[in-house]
C-alpha cells in the first residue's frame, strides 16, 4: 500500500549555539543551574530593557551557512514573533523572518541509491523561550535561565523521501555543526531539536499533499518512528478515501503514536514585524571571507585527505573523521609518527578500548599523541614488540610517563640477541621431545606451541622474527 | 525671589558658592510639592526621604569641590523611567506595584552627576495621550488654568516645571509628548534626534519613535540637562555613536545669517489665531536678530498623523504584550484557564486608550493587513523623512507652531479620540523623521494660556536648535512668566 505513495519530508532543526553568553544579553548559557539564577533585566523582559546582539551568534550562524553552501545576506533583519505564553517573558520572540542571515544552501547525503542533495531553504538566528516547571501542588512555575539563549533554525527544502533519508540528513547536519563547534549536539538536553513536515502524494502527482508538522522530537530513533508512523497514518486516511488535514502533531514516545496539537485554523497569527529595538544586521564581504578562511576542515574533506595522504582504507577514515576530536587526535599522531595505517589501528583499537573502559572522551585521553607516537617508534625500531606495546600503553595511561621510561623501568626491551634466545630455544626443545617428534613428522602447526613456550620463558621480550628464524632452524635439526 | 523660582544654572552657581545647600533647596521643593500638588496632580510618587539623602550626599560632594553641573539639583522624572527600588507605574494599573531592580541609562547618568530625584511624574498611561487625561492616577491640571489640560503625554513633566515643583524634569516624546505639554505649560522642552539619548530603562511605547528629553525653565537649562543625558549607549542598539558637543559652548553664538524654514503646510486654516499671531511675531523677532526666514515645503505632512497611528500602535501592541498578568498587574484569579487569565488581567489592568491602541496596532500587523497598513505606513515614513532632509538642504532650522491651539479644557476632547490625535499634527512628523525638535514659550493667548514655538533641526543638530532658541528667548521675557499658582 505504501508503495503507491511518494513521501515528502522537510525538516526544521533548532540547534542551541554554544556561545558562553545569551543572544541579547550577557547572562551565562550554562545548563542545569538553579532556576532563574542566570537572568537579567533583558532576558527577564523587564520593562525598559533592550536587546543587544551577541556578535558570536552571528559568527556561528555564518559559519554554519558557509559550511552548507548558503549565501550569506549582507543585510538581514531581526523580527518579533508575537504570541502569548508564560515561558515567553516579552510576549514575543526575537527571531528572523524576512531577510534571514543565510539562504539557499545544500547538503549532500548518502542514500541506498547513492548521493543525494538536500536543499537548505534558510538558516536564521533567534532566542529560546524559558521553561515551565509543572508542580501539581504549587501550580506551574517559570524558569527563565533558558530564555534568550541563542538558537539557530535550519530549514530544509522538502527534499527527503523517506525516514531513512531524513535521518541521514539530520546526522549529517548534526555532524557538521558539532564539527564547526557551534552546537554541542546534545539531543537529550535539547541542544538539537527537530520538527518534521511530512506529506504524501500518489506517485507522479505534481502538487504536494497536505502536510502535518511533527513537533520537537529529540532522538534520531524517535524521529524515524514518528515519520514512519505519520506516513502510515496519512496513507490509511487516503486509502479510506479521507483527506489529510493540515495540523501540528505531537509524537508520544511511549505509545509510538502521535496526536493532534492544533489545526491550521487554530494556528497563530504571529504578526511578525521588524524589531525596532535592533538595527539591521550588516555583514561585510571581508568578514564573510574571513569566516570562510577560518572554517575548519569538514568531515568529507577530512576523509578524502586521510585516504589520500595517510593511505588508510576509506572505512578507517570514516570512523576516524566521524568526530572532530578523534580526527584531530589521529591527525596529530600521524604527523608525529608517519605510518597512517599503524596509527589508525592504534586509535581505533587500543585508544578507543581504553577510552570506552574508562568512560573518557578522546580530548581527555591521558596518552597524548606525543606519548603514543613515541611508543610506536619503539615498535618500529624493534625495541618492543606489538604485544609488549599494549603493556607499555597501559602503563603510559596509568602513569603518564613516556614509553622509553616505562620500557627502561620495567625491563621490557625486546631481546634480539641470538646468544640470549638460543639457550631458551634449546631448553624448550629439550623439554618437549614428543612435540618435536610430531613436528618433524609433519605437524607444522605445532610451531605456534613452541613460540608460545619460548615467549613465555623470555617474558614476552624475545623478538618474534629472530625467534622464529632460529626455532625453525633448530626444529629442522640444522 | 524664592529658591523654587530658580533655574539649574542659577542654583548651580549658588550651590558652588556655598550660598545655599542642596538640602535646603530640596526641602524647598518638597514643601512646594506638598503645598501645590493637590491642585496640579503632577506627581504619582514623591520620595522625600531618598531625595534628602541624595541632597546630603550632594552637599558633601559640593563641599569637596567635586561638583558636576547637576550636583544637588532637584529633578523629577516622568514615571516611564525605571528607577531602582522606586515604584515605576507608567501611570497604569497594570504596573501599579512594579518596583524595578535597575536604573535606566539616563537616570543613572543623572545620579552619577549627583542630581536629586524628587519623585515620579504623572503622564498618560504608557505615554498614550495628548492631554494627560489617560492616567489611571487622575488627570494633571495646567498650572496656568486648572480647568485646562497640561498636554501629554509628559503632562506631569511640564506641569511640574511650570508649577515650580522641581527645577527641571525628564520626559519622553513619541509624537510630541514633550513639546506639546511644554508648549501648553509655558516651559522649554526638547525632543532630541532619535538615537541621541539612550532608551535603555525607558518603558517602551513605540520603540522606533520614543526619545528621552529635558523639560526646563529656560533654554540654558535645557542645554545643560540634554548634555547630561545624551550620548551613545552600548545597551541601546538604536543609540548612535556621535560625539556629544558642548551645547553651552555655542549657545550664545546668535542667529545671524541663519536660514529659518517656514513650511507652508503648517500654517493652515484651523490654526488658532492667537497661536498664528504669536508664531508670526516670533518669525519677526528672529528676522530682527539677523536670521533669514524662507518658505519651505514638507509635502507629505498630511499623511503624518495616519502614518504615526499605524506605526506607533503596531509597535505598542507588541511592546505591551509582556503585561499579561503572569508577572505584572493584578492577576485575575477567577479565570477559566490560561487564555482567559490573559484576557481578564489585561482587561482589568489597561485603560481604554491603551486598549484602543493595542487593538489598532494588532490589526495593522495582522496577516493579510500588514502590507496595506504597517508596510505602507513605513513607506510613507520614509517620504516624510525625505521631506525634512530636502528642506534642510535649504535651511538650518524649521520653525512651526507646536500645537494648533493653546491648552484645551479638561474633558473637551475625550469623547473624540480623532480630534485629540490632531493636537499632535505639528509634532508627529518630527518623530517620524527621527530628527530633533523643541518647544519654547513665544506668547500668551487672550485667555492667558501659554503658546509654544517649535524649532526643528537637522538630525543631531541640537546645537543649532538651542542656539536659535536661546537668541529668541533672550530677546523677550516669555521664559520669565510664572504660572499663577
The confidence score (pLDDT) of residue A382 equals 80
The confidence score (pLDDT) of residue A213 equals 93
Shared-domain flag, residues A195 and A343: no
What digits encode the pLDDT tens for the residues A107-155? 999 998 899 999 999 999 999 999 998 877 778 889 999 999 999 999 9
Classify B337 in phi/psi space as left (phi over 0), alpha (psi -120 to 50) or beta: left
Confirm or reject contact between B108 and chain A (CB < 8 A): no
Between the alpha carbon of residue A449 and those of residues A62, A420, A422, B153, the distances in Å are 63, 20, 17, 101
Confirm or reject contact between B362 and chain A (CB < 8 A): yes
Closest CB to A86 among B90, B207, B326: B326
The confidence score (pLDDT) of residue B122 equals 98
What percentage of chain B has pLDDT greater than the value 70? 100
pLDDT score of B288 more than 70: yes
Average pLDDT over residues A60-84: 97
The Cα–Cα gap between B31 and B40 comes to 14
Instruction: Report residue A478's pLDDT band, with 50, 70 and 90 as the boundaries.
Output: low
Q: What distance in Å separates residue A267's CA from the closest CA in chain B? A: 12
Shared-domain flag, residues A150 and A184: yes
Record the cell numbers describing residue B227, joined without a space.
548634555
Confirm or reject contact between B315 and chain A (CB < 8 A): yes
Q: What distance in Å separates residue B103's CA from the closest CA in chain A? A: 9
Between the alpha carbon of residue B234 and those of residues A349, B196, B238, the distances in Å are 53, 12, 9
Instruction: Report residue B183's pLDDT band, with 50, 70 and 90 as the boundaries.
Output: very high
The Cα–Cα gap between B334 and B12 comes to 55
Q: Give the phi and the psi of residue A217 in degrees, each rounded to 5.
A: -105, 135
Confirm or reject contact between B337 and chain A (CB < 8 A): no
In a domain, A291, yes or no: no
Q: CA-nearest residue of chain A to B317?
A: A82
For residue A93, the cross-strand partners are A81
Record: contact B237-A279, CB cut-off 8 A: yes
In a domain, A64, yes or no: yes
Average pLDDT over residues B414-436: 92
Closest CB to A84 among B81, B90, B342: B342
Confirm or reject contact between B204 and chain A (CB < 8 A): yes
Residue among B217, B278, B228 nearest B113 (CA): B228
For the annotated catalytic residues of B, the residue numbers are 78, 153, 177
Confirm or reject contact between B371 and chain A (CB < 8 A): no
Choosing from A229, A262, A286, the residue where a domain stops is: A286
Choosing from A286, A306, A335, the residue where a domain stops is: A286
What is the total count of domains within chain A? 3
Average pLDDT over residues B25-29: 98
Count of other CB atoms within 10 angstroms of residue A354: 17
Record: contact A47-B235, CB cut-off 8 A: no
CATH number of the domain that residue A457 is part of: 1.10.10.410
From the centroid of its chain, how far is CA A398?
28
Confirm or reject contact between A280 and chain B (CB < 8 A): no
Record: contact B322-A277, CB cut-off 8 A: no
Q: CA-nearest residue of chain B to A281?
A: B237
From the centroid of its chain, how far is CA B375?
27
Window B:111-170, CB contacts with A under 8 Å: none
Record the cell numbers describing residue A462, joined without a space.
624475545
Residue among B402, B97, B399 nearest B260 (CA): B399
What digits encode the pLDDT tens for the residues A263-306? 776 778 999 999 999 999 999 999 999 999 999 999 989 999 99
What digits encode the pLDDT tens for the residues B458-475? 999 999 999 999 999 999
Q: What distance in Å separates residue B354's CA from the closest CA in chain A? A: 16
The confidence score (pLDDT) of residue A457 equals 79
Confirm or reject contact between B341 and chain A (CB < 8 A): no
Shared-domain flag, residues A225 and A325: no
Q: Give the phi and the psi of residue A416 in degrees, each rounded to 5.
A: -115, -10
Record: contact B338-A86, CB cut-off 8 A: yes
Classify A272 in phi/psi space as left (phi over 0), alpha (psi -120 to 50) or beta: beta
pLDDT score of A432 more than 60: yes
- CATH code reported for the domain at B3-252: 3.90.1300.10
Shared-domain flag, residues A402 and A422: no
Compare A384 and B430 and report the one with higher pLDDT: B430
What percentage of chain A has pLDDT greater than the value 70? 99
Q: What distance in Å separates residue A122's CA from the closest CA in chain B? A: 22
Q: What distance in Å separates residue B229's CA from the closest CA in chain A? A: 16
Record: contact B236-A50, CB cut-off 8 A: yes
Exposure string of B186-222, with b = 16+ CB inside 10 Å and e = fewer, is bbbbbbbbbbbbbbbbbbbbbbbbbbbbbbbbbbbbb
Closest CB to A80 among B88, B318, B367: B318
> For residue A288, what are the contacts with CB-CB under 8 A and spacing of at least 6?
A62, A66, A72
The confidence score (pLDDT) of residue B249 equals 97
Positive/negative CA dihedral, B93, B96, B98, B103: positive
The Cα–Cα gap between B454 and B442 comes to 9
Q: What distance in Å separates residue A5's CA from the closest CA in chain B? A: 34
The confidence score (pLDDT) of residue B57 equals 98
| Chain A positions in Cβ-Cβ contact with residue B238 (cut-off 8 Å) | 50, 276-279
Classify B231 in phi/psi space as left (phi over 0), alpha (psi -120 to 50) or beta: left
Instruction: Report residue B410's pLDDT band, with 50, 70 and 90 as the boundaries.
Output: very high
Closest CB to B321 among A53, A92, A277: A92
For residue A79, the cross-strand partners are A95, A274
Average pLDDT over residues B219-241: 98
Q: What distance in Å separates residue A266's CA from the closest CA in chain B? A: 13
Record the cell numbers describing residue A394, joined without a space.
597501559
> For residue B250, what are the contacts with CB-CB under 8 A and spacing of at least 6?
B463, B466, B467
Angle at CA B445, nearest 5°, toward B439 and B447?
135
Q: Are the C-beta atoms of residues B105 and B201 closer than 8 Å to each other? A: yes
The Cα–Cα gap between B58 and B49 comes to 14
Confirm or reject contact between B374 and chain A (CB < 8 A): yes
Closest CB to B366 among A45, A48, A269: A269
The Cα–Cα gap between A273 and B315 comes to 9
The confidence score (pLDDT) of residue B261 equals 98
3-state secondary structure labels for all residues of chain A: CHHHEEEEEEEEEEEECCCCECCCCCCECCCCCCCCCCCCHHHHCCCCCCCCCCHHHHHHHHHHHHHCCCEECCEECCEEEECCCCCCCCCEEEECCCCCCEEEEEEEEEECCEEEEEEEEEEEEEECCCEEEEECCCEEEEECCCCCCEEEEEEECCCECCHHHHHHHHHHHHHHHHHCCCCCCCCCCCCEEEEEEEEEEECCCCCCCCCEEEEEECCHHHHHHHHHHHHHHHHHHHHCCCCCCCEEEEEECCCCEEEEEEEHHHCCCCCCEECCCCCCEECCHHHHHHHHHHCCCCHHHHHHHHHHHHCCCHHHHHHHHCCHHHHHHHHHHHHHHCCHHHHHHHHHHHHHHHHHHHCCCHHHCCCCHHHHHHHHHHHHCCCCCHHHHHHHHHHHHHHCCCHHHHHHHHCCCCECCHHHHHHHHHHHHHHCHHHHHHHHCCCHHHHHHHHHHHHHHCCCCECHHHHHHHHHHHHCCC
Choosing from A261, A286, A311, the residue where a domain stops is: A286
What digits encode the pLDDT tens for the residues B36-85? 999 999 999 999 999 999 999 999 999 999 999 999 999 999 999 999 99
What percentage of chain A has pLDDT greater than the value 90? 59
Shared-domain flag, residues A406 and A456: no
Residue among A421, A85, A129, A412 nearest A268 (CA): A85
The confidence score (pLDDT) of residue A283 equals 96
- Counting one residue from chain A and one from chain B, the pairs whose CB atoms sit within 8 A come to 94
Shared-domain flag, residues A25 and A133: yes
Pairing mode, strands A102-111 and A257-263:
unpaired
| Chain A positions in Cβ-Cβ contact with residue B339 (cut-off 8 Å) | 84
pLDDT score of A96 more than 90: yes
Mean pLDDT value across chain B: 96
The confidence score (pLDDT) of residue A148 equals 97
Q: Are the C-beta atoms of residues B285 and B475 closer than 8 Å to each other? A: yes
Residue among A216, A61, A225 nearest A154 (CA): A61
The confidence score (pLDDT) of residue A254 equals 86
Classify B197 in phi/psi space as left (phi over 0), alpha (psi -120 to 50) or beta: beta
The Cα–Cα gap between B9 and B21 comes to 14
Record: contact B90-A47, CB cut-off 8 A: yes
Average pLDDT over residues A50-57: 97
Shared-domain flag, residues A114 and A252: yes
Mean pLDDT value across chain A: 90
Pairing mode, strands B168-173 and B74-78:
parallel
Record: contact A45-B362, CB cut-off 8 A: no
Record: contact A41-B235, CB cut-off 8 A: no
| Chain B positions in Cβ-Cβ contact with residue A82 (cut-off 8 Å) | 317-318, 321, 365
Record: contact A82-B204, CB cut-off 8 A: no
User: Which of A363-372, B283-292, B312-321, B434-443 is predicted least confidently?
Assistant: A363-372
Which domain, by its residues, includes A246? 2-286
User: Which of A220-224, B149-153, B280-284 is predicted least confidently?
Assistant: A220-224
Shared-domain flag, residues A84 and A131: yes
What digits encode the pLDDT tens for the residues B118-137? 999 999 999 999 999 999 99
Treating both helix axes as pointing N-terminal to C-terminal, what angle do A369-380 and A324-337 enclose, rounded to 10 degrees? 40
| Chain B positions in Cβ-Cβ contact with residue A132 (cut-off 8 Å) | none
Positive/negative CA dihedral, B195, B197, B198, B199: negative
pLDDT score of A417 more than 80: no
The Cα–Cα gap between B31 and B38 comes to 12
Record the cell numbers describing residue A294, joined without a space.
577560518
What digits encode the pLDDT tens for the residues A350-404? 899 999 999 888 988 999 999 898 888 888 888 888 888 888 888 889 888 888 8
Confirm or reject contact between B342 and chain A (CB < 8 A): yes
Instruction: Report residue A2's pLDDT band, with 50, 70 and 90 as the boundaries.
Output: low
Amino acid at each position: 500500500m505504501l508503495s503507491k505513495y511518494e513521501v515528502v519530508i522537510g525538516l526544521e532543526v533548532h540547534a542551541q549555539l554554544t556561545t558562553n553568553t545569551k543572544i541579547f544579553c550577557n547572562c551565562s548559557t550554562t545548563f542545569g543551574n538553579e532556576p532563574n539564577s542566570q537572568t537579567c533585566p533583558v532576558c527577564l523582559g523587564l520593562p525598559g530593557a533592550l536587546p543587544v546582539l551577541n556578535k558570536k551568534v552571528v559568527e556561528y550562524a555564518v559559519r554554519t551557512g558557509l559550511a552548507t553552501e548558503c549565501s550569506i545576506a549582507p543585510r538581514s533583519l531581526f523580527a518579533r514573533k508575537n504570541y502569548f505564553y508564560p515561558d515567553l517573558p516579552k510576549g514575543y520572540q526575537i527571531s528572523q523572518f524576512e531577510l534571514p542571515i543565510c539562504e539557499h544552501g545544500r547538503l549532500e547525503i548518502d542514500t541506498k541509491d547513492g548521493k543525494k542533495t538536500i536543499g537548505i531553504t534558510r538558516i536564521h538566528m533567534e532566542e529560546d523561550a524559558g521553561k515551565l516547571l509543572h508542580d501539581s501542588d504549587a501550580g506551574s512555575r517559570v524558569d527563565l535561565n533558558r530564555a534568550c539563549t541563542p538558537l539557530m533554525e535550519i530549514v530544509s527544502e522538502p527534499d527527503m523521501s523517506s525516514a531513512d533519508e531524513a535521518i541521514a540528513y539530520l546526522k549529517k547536519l548534526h555532524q557538521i555543526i558539532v564539527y564547526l563547534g557551534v552546537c554541542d549536539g546534545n539531543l537529550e538536553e535539547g541542544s538539537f531539536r527537530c520538527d518534521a513536515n511530512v506529506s504524501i502524494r500518489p506517485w507522479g502527482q505534481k502538487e504536494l499533499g497536505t502536510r502535518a508538522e511533527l513537533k520537537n522530537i529529540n532522538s534520531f530513533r524517535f524521529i524515524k518512528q514518528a515519520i514512519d508512523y505519520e506516513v502510515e497514518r496519512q496513507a490509511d486516511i487516503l486509502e479510506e478515501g479521507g483527506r489529510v488535514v493540515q495540523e501540528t502533531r505531537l509524537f508520544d514516545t511511549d505509545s509510538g503514536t502521535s496526536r493532534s496539537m492544533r489545526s491550521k485554523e487554530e494556528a497563530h497569527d504571529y504578526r511578525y514585524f521588524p524589531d525596532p529595538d535592533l538595527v539591521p544586521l550588516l555583514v561585510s564581504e571581508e568578514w564573510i571571507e574571513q569566516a570562510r578562511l577560518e572554517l575548519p576542515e569538514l568531515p568529507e574533506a577530512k576523509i578524502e585527505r586521510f585516504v589520500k595522504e595517510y593511505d588508510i582504507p576509506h572505512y578507517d577514515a570514516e570512523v576516524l573523521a566521524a568526530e572532530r576530536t578523534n580526527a584531530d587526535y589521529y591527525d596529530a599522531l600521524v604527523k608525529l609518527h608517519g605510518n597512517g595505517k599503524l596509527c589508525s589501528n592504534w586509535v581505533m583499537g587500543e585508544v578507543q578500548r581504553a577510552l570506552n573502559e574508562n568512560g573518557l572522551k578522546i580530548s581527555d585521553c591521558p596518552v597524548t599523541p606525543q606519548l603514543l607516537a613515541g611508543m610506536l617508534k619503539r615498535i618500529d625500531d624493534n625495541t618492543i614488540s606489538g604485544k609488549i606495546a599494549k603493556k607499555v600503553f597501559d602503563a603510559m595511561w596509568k602513569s603518564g610517563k613516556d614509553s622509553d621510561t616505562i620500557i627502561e623501568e620495567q625491563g621490557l626491551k625486546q631481546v634480539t640477541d641470538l646468544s640470549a634466545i638460543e639457550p631458551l630455544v634449546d631448553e624448550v626443545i629439550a623439554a618437549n621431545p614428543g612435540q618435536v617428534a610430531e613436528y618433524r613428522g609433519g605437524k607444522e602447526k605445532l610451531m605456534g606451541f613452541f613460540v608460545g613456550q619460548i615467549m613465555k620463558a623470555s617474558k614476552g621480550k624475545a623478538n618474534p622474527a629472530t625467534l622464529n628464524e632460529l626455532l625453525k632452524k633448530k626444529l629442522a635439526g640444522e | 525671589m524664592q529658591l523654587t523660582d530658580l533655574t539649574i544654572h542659577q542654583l548651580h552657581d549658588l550651590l558652588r558658592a556655598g550660598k545655599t545647600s542642596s538640602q535646603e533647596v530640596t526641602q524647598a521643593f518638597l514643601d512646594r510639592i506638598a503645598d501645590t500638588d493637590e491642585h496640579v496632580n503632577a506627581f504619582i510618587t514623591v520620595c522625600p526621604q531618598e531625595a534628602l539623602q541624595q541632597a546630603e550626599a550632594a552637599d558633601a560632594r559640593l563641599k569637596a569641590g567635586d561638583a558636576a553641573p547637576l550636583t544637588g539639583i532637584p529633578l523629577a522624572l516622568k514615571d516611564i523611567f525605571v528607577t531602582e527600588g522606586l515604584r515605576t507605574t507608567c501611570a497604569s494599573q497594570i504596573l501599579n506595584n512594579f518596583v524595578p531592580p535597575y536604573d535606566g541609562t539616563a537616570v543613572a547618568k543623572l545620579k552619577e552627576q549627583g542630581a536629586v530625584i524628587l519623585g515620579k511624574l504623572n503622564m498618560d498611561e504608557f505615554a498614550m495621550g495628548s492631554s494627560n487625561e489617560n492616567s489611571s492616577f487622575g488627570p494633571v491640571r495646567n498650572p496656568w488654568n486648572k480647568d485646562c489640560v497640561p498636554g501629554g503625554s509628559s503632562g506631569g513633566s511640564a506641569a511640574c516645571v511650570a508649577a515650580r515643583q522641581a527645577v527641571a524634569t525628564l520626559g519622553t516624546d513619541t509624537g510630541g509628548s514633550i513639546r506639546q505639554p511644554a508648549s501648553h505649560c509655558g516651559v522649554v522642552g526638547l525632543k532630541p534626534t532619535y538615537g541621541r539619548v539612550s532608551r535603555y530603562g525607558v518603558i517602551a511605547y513605540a520603540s522606533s519613535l520614543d526619545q528621552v528629553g529635558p523639560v526646563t525653565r529656560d533654554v540654558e537649562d535645557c542645554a545643560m540637562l540634554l548634555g547630561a543625558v545624551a550620548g551613545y549607549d552600548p545597551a541601546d542598539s538604536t543609540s548612535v555613536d556621535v560625539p556629544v558637543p558642548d551645547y553651552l559652548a555655542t549657545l550664545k553664538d546668535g542667529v545671524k545669517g541663519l536660514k529659518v524654514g517656514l513650511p507652508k503646510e503648517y500654517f493652515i486654516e484651523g490654526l488658532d489665531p492667537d497661536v498664528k499671531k504669536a508664531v508670526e511675531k516670533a518669525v519677526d523677532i528672529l528676522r530682527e536678530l539677523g536670521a533669514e526666514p524662507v518658505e519651505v515645503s514638507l509635502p507629505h505632512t498630511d499623511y503624518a498623523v495616519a502614518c504615526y497611528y499605524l506605526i506607533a500602535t503596531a509597535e505598542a501592541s507588541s511592546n505591551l504584550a509582556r503585561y499579561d498578568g503572569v508577572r505584572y498587574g493584578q492577576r485575575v484569579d477567577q479565570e477559566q484557564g490560561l487564555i482567559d487569565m490573559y484576557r481578564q488581567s489585561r482587561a482589568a489592568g489597561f485603560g481604554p486608550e491603551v486598549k484602543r491602541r493595542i487593538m489598532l496596532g494588532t490589526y495593522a500587523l495582522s496577516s493579510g493587513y500588514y502590507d496595506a497598513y504597517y508596510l505602507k505606513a513605513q513607506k510613507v515614513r520614509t517620504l516624510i523623512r525625505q521631506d525634512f532632509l530636502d528642506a534642510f538642504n535649504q535651511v538650518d532650522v524649521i520653525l512651526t507652531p507646536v500645537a494648533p491651539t493653546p491648552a484645551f479644557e479638561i474633558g473637551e476632547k475625550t469623547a473624540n479620540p480623532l480630534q485629540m490625535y490632531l493636537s499632535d499634527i505639528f509634532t508627529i512628523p518630527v518623530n517620524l523623521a527621527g530628527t530633533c525638535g523643541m518647544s519654547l514659550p513665544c506668547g500668551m493667548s487672550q485667555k492667558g494660556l501659554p503658546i509654544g514655538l517649535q524649532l526643528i533641526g537637522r538630525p543631531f543638530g541640537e546645537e543649532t536648535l538651542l542656539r536659535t532658541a536661546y537668541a529668541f528667548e533672550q530677546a523677550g521675557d516669555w521664559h520669565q512668566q510664572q504660572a499663577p499658582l
